[in-house]
Every structure is written in C-alpha cells, then in structure tokens.
Amino acid sequence: MAKIFLIIGSLVMALAVGIGAFGAHGLEGKISERMLKNYQTGVQYHMIHGVGILIVGLLALKLTSSSLLNGAGWSFLIGIVLFSGSLYIMALTGITKLGAITPLGGLAFIVGWVLIAIAAVRAL
C-alpha cells in the first residue's frame, strides 16, 4: 500500500495546486469574499492532507502497523473529499447547507492523524 499512497498523495497534491490556481486566478471578483475565503480554506486543508497521504506512504515503507497507516491514508482522502470538496462546491454554488458536511471531513482528518500516532507508538 505504500506505493499506492505515494501515487494517490502525488495526484492529490497536483489536483490541489490546480484547484488552488483556479481559485486564485479564476474566482476573484466572481464570488463573494466570504466564499473565496471558504474556497481557500478548502485548498489549504487539501494540500496539508495531501502531504499527509504522502507521509503515510513513506511511513508504510518503514513501520509495520500497515492497517493503521492504511486507515490513516484513506481517512485523509475521505477528509479531503468531504471537507475540501464541500467547501469548493459551497463556494462555487453558494449552497451553504453543504457546510454541514464539512465537519465530517474534519473528523476524518483527526482520525487519520490519531491513527498515525497509534502506529508510531506501536512501532516503538
């Protein structure tokens, strides 16, 4: 799975750069400042957790707690889809009810980081 997460992480990061560039160059003046800020928050968390997926891939090469790391990697990907995805769609459509999905993505991010911590403790 290490290689899978390195591939997924790389592709997620490439997508984050493209989405971020679209927001910076294509949305300014077209959506409200509040929605642009939401969009930028989505990009920020997308990038951070894309790096997190890459970290999972690298750790999977070294640690033996692969099921925990696999869970962390998938949690990060789910978090990106739910957290960042809901913010992107909300900013582009103005449908603020999508904000109810965002905390589920945040919870997935937290689960991913906790799983990495548990994997590290078990590797000691």
Kindly report, residue by residue over 85-121, the tens digit of the pLDDT.
Answer: 999 999 999 999 989 999 999 999 999 999 999 999 9
Query: Residue 31 has what pLDDT?
Result: 93
pLDDT band for position 64 (cuts 50, 70, 90): confident
Query: Residue 25 has what pLDDT?
Result: 93
Secondary element (H or E) of residue 48: helix 33-62
Angle between helix 85-93 and helix 33-62 axes, rounded to 10 deg: 160
pTM value is 0.94
Which tokens sit at 107? 């919870």
